[in-house]
Chains A and B, each alone.
Chain A
Amino acid sequence: MRISRRGFVGSATGAVGGWLLSEAGRWAGLGSQAKLEGRPALLDLGAQCVLRESFEGYRVALGGQDACPPKFVSGSRPGHGAVIVPGAGVMDRGTCSALLDLLAAGSKVVFESGGGFLRREEFAVHRRMLSDVFGLMVDSPVDLWSREEAVPYVTYSWPRATMVRDFSRVVPVVAPGSEVVGRVGELAVASRKPVGRGHLIFIGSPMGPALRARDPECRQWLELLLSASPRVLRDWYETASVH
């Protein structure tokens, strides 16, 4: 569906607002935090999205809002609240540079890696892309369920302590200069770091399927993540210890 930028922004804001309103009753006490300061955009990478169901999960969680294609991100005025990039595989140069522009201008980019579901050679490119574009260092995917006595949860420490089901294969993050915000046991699988005036949140264990399955803690986590403004994130980051 073709949609104008103004139309997209309006519908996205409305959809998210509607979602928050409808969910507010379920999540008592979150009303005041639920006010979004930015305009979350859901990026549809098309074939560069490895996990369509993860994309669908975010779409459902955001009230079924229309997604924007990378072209929209490239042409958008930087600085709107948040851009979610679900199930990312190997992205083209144009999309990467658009995301960097947004980060430079103060946006929050939630980058969910689909690297665990790439072929080995594709993952190598994915890994290089994360390093070159975002300065993020990641390790090869880990199959959590090949280990004995797997406990099926990723524990997030930010924006609130939350446990979300793992999605079998995680991409561990090892970047210095990032703050680890999600772990599976000893493995760091989610991080955040300031980039330009914005903020990059890396998620190495896909959350979209849990969102789609209506995991309430996961949806709450996303809501809080989206409601935190880049400035607040940056200030918090500067005063927090970085691992």
Chain B
Amino acid sequence: MKKAIGDNMIPKKWSFEQGLELVKKAGYDGIELWLGDVPWFQMDTSDAAVSELRRKVENSGLVVSNVSTGLHWEKPLSARDPRVRAEAIRIVEREIETAQLLGCDAVLVVAGLVTAEVPYNEVYLRCVDAMHQLAPVATKARVKIGCENCNSEQRFLLSPREFGTFLDEVNSPFVGLHLDVGNIHDTGFAEQWIEMHGPRITRVHLKDPMKKRGRSGEPVYTNLFLGDNNWAAIRAALGKVAYDGWLVAEMEWRYRFAADQQFYDTAAAIDRLISGRL
């Protein structure tokens, strides 16, 4: 397995180049690029500029692990307004295009958003529609779309069986699961998701949730091994399904001081996870 971390972790006042240097020094193999979350990678960033990002990544001895985006929280594929949905589709298409330019083969998509206004059944149908529309694009580009399990925030596809049904309906080898082992909270167990979805997992996001928090505004997420995930079981499940892909750190809660130290600590924790010495 290889380890990566998102470029949205790079401290705000740092340049992309400074961030790459830190990621490399901390021992990562790759970097996840977040479309729309960082100044150097936006929807209107040109193809040439994206290729230049790739050059910088490779010059620093890294590769791009995958392309992600948080833009679908504002413009979901499940929106009722067809114009918003068209924008959401365009975001995924741009992720796929830039993944090709960056030399990686996976993108993350937040596939739908259940709200008080937009009910589950509608969201489900629109997301299947969207994936049916996008699967041929992904297939042609040889880039896999990983729909992320954002269980609590999305209120959608809450169980691994449900997620499996969704993927069955989409029925494309180029649409799978971008599994965030920190997002399952108290609705299940990450190791069971891994076991059930094995070959359909496109990438794994790592963070640790604190299951008893979050209901009163306290942060839910913490550093690896400080929360409630059963990391030994997660490691065993990854071995059982022979997952050998990217483990991507997504630390939602940042260090208040010595921001760079979080890169080193997280890299060391991922090394321990990969080694199985837990």
Q: How far is the CB of B81 from the nearest CB of chain A, in Å?
A: 6
B217 within 8 A of A: no
User: A214: which B residues are within 8 A, CB to CB?
Assistant: 121
Residues on B with beta carbons closer than 8 Å to the beta carbon of A167 = 80
Q: Is the CB of A165 within 8 A of B119?
A: yes
Q: Complex formed: what's the CA distance from A50 to B119 in Å?
A: 20
Contact A117 B82 (CB under 8 A): yes
Collect the chain A residues with CB atoms within 8 Å of residue B129's CB.
53
Task: Please indicate which of the listed interface residues A52, A150, A209 has the most CB atoms of chain B within 10 Å of its own CB.
Answer: A209
- Give the distance to chain B from A55, nearest Cβ to Cβ, in Å: 11
Contact code string B117-158 (vs A, CB < 8 Å = 1, else 0): 111011001100100000000000000000000000000000
Inter-chain contact A150/B126, CB cutoff 8 Å: no
SS of A interface (majority): loop
Residue of A at shortest CB range from B124? A213
B82 pairs with A213, CB closer than 8 A: no
Q: Which residues of B contact A212 (CB under 8 A)?
A: 122, 125
Residues of the A chain whose Cβ atoms lie less than 8 Å from the Cβ of B122: 209, 212-213
Q: Does B258 contact A (CB under 8 A)?
A: no
Contact of B80 among A52, A150, A209, A215 (CB under 8 A): A209
Tell me if B48 counts as interface (CB < 8 A to partner A).
no
CA distance A168 to B83 in the complex (A): 14
A203: chain B residues within 8 A (beta carbon): none
A152 at the A/B interface (Cβ < 8 Å)?
A: yes
Please state if A117 and B81 are interface contacts (CB–CB under 8 Å).
Answer: yes
- Inter-chain contact B117/A152, CB cutoff 8 Å: yes
Contact with B117, one of A50, A53, A145, A209 (Cβ below 8 angstroms): A145
Asked whether any CB of chain B lies closer than 8 Å to the CB of A51, the reply is yes
In the bound complex, residues from chain B placing their C-beta under 8 Å from that of A145 are 117
| Residue numbers in B under 8 Å from A215 (CB-CB) | 121
Query: How does the 8 Å CB contact mask read for A121-153 relative to B, with 1 for contact and 0 for none?
Result: 000000000000000000000000100001010
Q: Contacts A152-B116, A152-B117 given: A50-B82 contact, CB under 8 Å? A: yes
In the complex, what residue of chain A is closest to B85 when comparing beta carbons?
A53
Question: What's the Cα separation between A165 and B122 when bound, in Å?
Answer: 11
Q: How far is the CB of B139 from chain A (nearest CB, A)?
A: 23
Min CB distance B85 to A, Å, is 9
Cβ-defined contact, A168 with B121, below 8 A: no
Bound: A118/B183 CA distance, A? 37
Inter-chain contact B125/A213, CB cutoff 8 Å: yes
A213 and B121 within 8 A (CB)? yes
Given contact pairs A145-B117, A152-B116, A152-B117, A51 touches B82 in the complex (Cβ within 8 A): yes
In A193-239, which residues have CB < 8 Å from any B CB? 209, 212-215
Chain B residues near A53 (CB, 8 Å)? Answer: 82, 125-126, 129
Residues in chain A within 8 A of chain B (CB atoms):
50-53, 117, 145, 150, 152, 165, 167-168, 209, 212-215
* Chain B residues near A (Cβ < 8 Å): 80-83, 116-119, 121-122, 125-126, 129
10 shortest interchain CB distances as A-B pairs: A213-B121, A145-B117, A168-B80, A213-B122, A209-B122, A117-B81, A168-B117, A212-B125, A167-B80, A213-B125
Residue contacts A-B, CB under 8 angstroms, 21 given: A50-B82, A51-B82, A52-B82, A53-B82, A53-B125, A53-B126, A53-B129, A117-B83, A145-B117, A152-B117, A165-B119, A167-B80, A168-B80, A168-B117, A168-B118, A209-B80, A209-B122, A212-B122, A212-B125, A213-B121, A215-B121
